[in-house]
Amino acid sequence: MMRLVPLFMAAVLIFVTVLVWPSADGDVGILGWINVTVMLVLSLLLLRYGMRLLRERTEPKPGSRLRAKLVVGLVGLLLVPAMVIQLAASQMVERGMDVWFDVRVDTLLDRALNLAQGFYERLEKDMKRSLLGYISDGVLVAAVGGNMEYLATTAYLTEIREREGWQKAELFDLNERQLGGVQVGELSALEPEPLSDAARLSMRLGRVATELKTGADGEVAVGYAPLIGTTSVVGLLRVEMKLPAGVIQNARSVESDYRNYRQLEHNRQAIAQTFTHVILFVTLAVLLLAGLIGLLFARRLTAPIGDLAHALHRVTEGDLDVVLDEMSQDELGSLVRSFNEMTSRLRHHAGAIEQGQQDLTKALDKSRQRQFVLESLLANLHTGVLLVDGSGRVRLLNQAVRDILHLPVNWVPSVDLLQASQGNLQDIGDFYNELKHQQEEHLQREFDISLPDSRLVHVLARGARLNASASDFSGYLLVIDDISELAEAQRNKAWAEVARRLAHEIKNPLTPIKLSAERLQRRFRAQVDNHQVFDACTQAIIAQVERLQRLIADFSTLARMPQPKIRDVSVNVLLREMKDLFHGYRRIEVRFCDEQWRCACDPDQVRQVLINLMDNAVSASDDGVSIRLYASLSDAWVEWHVEDDGDGIDEAAASRLFEAYYSTKASGSGLGLAIAKRIAEDHHGELLLVSTAAPTHFCLRLPRYAAEEGA
């Protein structure tokens, strides 16, 4: 008889399904179809289970009868109270609907909503009324116009914020750039919050505006007051006031509850139907769950021994992840717990061994990675790094230190800086000694280091004291940067300003000189015997004065050498000009070249370089020493060569010959060769010292053809 109970229950469910089947014009929603689907599924499951019980009637499996009794009994015990709860719940929902949607509830919610809206309106009116007083504030308008310093603007904003009780006040110009900002309790952000659309609209319309914003600390009221100058809006004052957290939260809750209540009232009938279908769905789900639980519970009583035997077989094969479910608290359950504890301990010990191996491997890999990263970082840094212990011995240094200080290849980092005898290391030792004996933890100095090749390197040294904490090492970290180029750039900038002022002073007498030379041509040309010499001399004066005037005009405007004005120039023309200019020196030999030789250059600047080289050769050699000027040509370059057979240039001076403001002559400014080298580089060429003596040989190499645009 028990075997027929599942079939009887399936027939009842099918009958109920036919009764509650949704009509075509009904409005039960998707939940009604879900209930119908669940009942059909339950019916099919019960039919399938009943048919299987009938098939096992002759030769049932061990425990199948007990399993069927338990399943049917559990489902039957749940079905009756579930139906009673379904009927009671439906009645309670009908009565509850009448209470929920009472007239008194409507009145109470309307009053609460009006109260919440009134709070926002009052807050908005108060803030607008306060902001209207600052629209034409003269101090704020002056601050936007740039007539006040930042500290004065910030102080005035602080006064406004404290007077009005605002949390934040910011001042912006028409370009949305913050001119000042203050806020309560902390500094203003380095990057101000961008202006919103309401702020831009306030500036465009010239009206006070407010808005509510939600931030990390709660809701704030934001006000915008356009600052009106003489005729138009010149800026914007943005203020923020933090709203009380409790009031805002209650107001939001009232609004949310009001909306929810109206929505529920609109869907009153649908809610009742939905609730009924939900209860039915829960009942069906409970029945389905009860059947599954009963089936699993019954199966648990008959199959644990087989599961335990199978688990033991897996353990013998090395699978330690086997875990049996504890289905009872009897002797069988105790056996299952003992088995699980055994496998858990085996798994724990095996995992501990594996984890120990992994930890050792990771620790070794991390140590090697850190060492590799540190070595790679120090090797690729252009900044010199030295690690010195407390006794002054160098424990670590990178390649940049060797490059900056020009240390020998065989120099080992174990020298005591306090006992260093070499000049470059002695300077570092003096810096280390100062750092060691001072109270501060850090030290920074700039000084020059004399290298073995007589060159000076200007370095910036920074040091820090390392105190022992996690490690046992304590000492000093020294960081060295070669700032020679930076220092030279600063000197060039200073000298450029001096040169600009000198050019201004030199420019004044050039015009009288030119006028005097022209007057000499007109007044005395008829009285001289050699017109050619007289014309050449006076014309040379006029041409050179005009060239100086052009250079000084460009130099005064840009405070630098003018950019070259590239054009096609004959090489022989420049050589002839040098011949005419230095015609009075018999020991100067100018060799002319082929008339077809051309060069793309600025003739004035190239002429300036050649004059500088020739003047240097004349002043550096005696009267009887020969000086030669000639040109050579290759596929891509034109070269001008200046040679003299004088005493030559000292090797120490040769390394600094092209440095600005360095001169071997007492009366020299040190700018001639530096400017000449700059001109060569601006032409994408180079100025070279080919040899220092026997003969002293300079070469100006320039490209034959103009460089392409952007080259």
pLDDT at residue number 79: 66
Let me know if residue 177 belongs to a domain: yes
**Looking at the structure, do residues 150 and 56 belong to the same domain, yes or no?**
no
Q: Are 298 and 66 in contact (CB under 8 A)?
A: yes
Let me know if residue 310 belongs to a domain: no
Which residues on neighbouring strands pair with residue 342, listed in sequence order? none
How does 257-293 read in b/e, with b if 16+ C-beta sit within 10 Å?
ebeebeeeeeeeeebebbbbbebbbebbebbbebbee
- Average the pLDDT over each of 147-156, 633-642, 676-685 and give the range with the smallest value: 147-156
Is the pLDDT confidence value at 62 over 70? no
- Residue 451 structural domain: 381-482
**Looking at the structure, do residues 78 and 188 belong to the same domain, yes or no?**
no
Q: Beta strand pairing status for 168-173 and 456-466? A: unpaired
CA-to-CA distance for 319 and 313, rounded, in angstroms?
9
Let me know if residue 594 belongs to a domain: yes
Q: Which residues contact 274 (CB under 8 A, 6 or more apart)?
A: 29, 31
Q: Are 573 and 638 in contact (CB under 8 A)?
A: no
CA-to-CA distance for 225 and 130, rounded, in angstroms?
10
Let me know if residue 369 belongs to a domain: no
**Looking at the structure, do residues 703 and 625 belong to the same domain, yes or no?**
yes
**Looking at the structure, do residues 491 and 476 belong to the same domain, yes or no?**
no
**Residue 655's CATH number:** 3.30.565.10
**Looking at the structure, do residues 150 and 136 belong to the same domain, yes or no?**
yes
What average pLDDT does the segment 600-624 reach? 88
**Residue 440's CATH number:** 3.30.450.20
Q: Which long-range contacts (CB under 8 A, 24 or more apart) does 403-407 make?
A: 404/457, 404/459, 404/480, 404/482, 405/449, 405/451, 405/457, 405/480, 406/451, 406/452, 406/453
Does 111 or 35 have the greater pLDDT score?
35
Instruction: Point out the domain boundary residue: 482, 507, 529.
Output: 482
DSSP per-residue string spanning 454-522: S-EEEEEEEEEEEPPSSSS--EEEEEEEE-HHHHHHHHHHHHHHHHHHHHHHHHHHHHHHHHHHHHHHH
pLDDT at residue number 557: 44
Does 385 or 494 have the greater pLDDT score?
385
pLDDT at residue number 710: 40
**Looking at the structure, do residues 223 and 250 belong to the same domain, yes or no?**
yes
Mean pLDDT computed over every residue of the chain: 76
DSSP per-residue string spanning 421-442: -SHHHHHHHHHHHHHHTSSSSE
Does 237 or 327 have the greater pLDDT score?
237
SS3 call for 14: helix
Instruction: Point out the domain boundary residue: 456, 482, 508.
Output: 482
**Looking at the structure, do residues 388 and 294 belong to the same domain, yes or no?**
no
pLDDT confidence band for 601 (50 / 70 / 90): very high
SS3 call for 325: coil
Let me know if residue 308 belongs to a domain: no
Q: Which of 657, 655, 601 is nearest to 631 (CA)?
A: 601
**Looking at the structure, do residues 76 and 128 belong to the same domain, yes or no?**
no
Instruction: Point out the domain boundary residue: 441, 462, 482.
Output: 482
pTM listed for this prediction: 0.34
CA-to-CA distance for 295 and 52, rounded, in angstroms?
13
pLDDT confidence band for 102 (50 / 70 / 90): low
pLDDT at residue number 558: 41
SS3 call for 216: coil
Which helix (H) or strand (E) segment holds residue 444: the answer is: strand 442-450
Does 208 or 18 have the greater pLDDT score?
208
Let me know if residue 36 belongs to a domain: yes
Q: Which of 579, 577, 560, 573 is nearest to 599 (CA)?
A: 573
Helix %, strand %, coil % of the chain (to 5): 55, 15, 25
Let me know if residue 327 belongs to a domain: no
Q: Which of 417, 112, 418, 377 is nearest to 250 (CA)?
A: 112
**Looking at the structure, do residues 91 and 186 belong to the same domain, yes or no?**
no
**Looking at the structure, do residues 199 and 81 belong to the same domain, yes or no?**
no
Cβ atoms within 10 Å, residue 210: 21
pLDDT at residue number 552: 67
pLDDT at residue number 454: 62
Cα torsion through 369, 371, 376, 382, rounded to 10: 140
- 325-376 pLDDT, tens digit each: 776 667 667 777 787 888 888 778 777 877 877 887 787 777 677 766 666 7
Let me know if residue 652 belongs to a domain: yes
SS3 call for 310: helix
**Looking at the structure, do residues 705 and 597 belong to the same domain, yes or no?**
yes
**Looking at the structure, do residues 38 and 7 belong to the same domain, yes or no?**
yes
CA-to-CA distance for 614 and 577, rounded, in angstroms?
12
Task: Provide the number of structural domains found in the chain.
Answer: 5
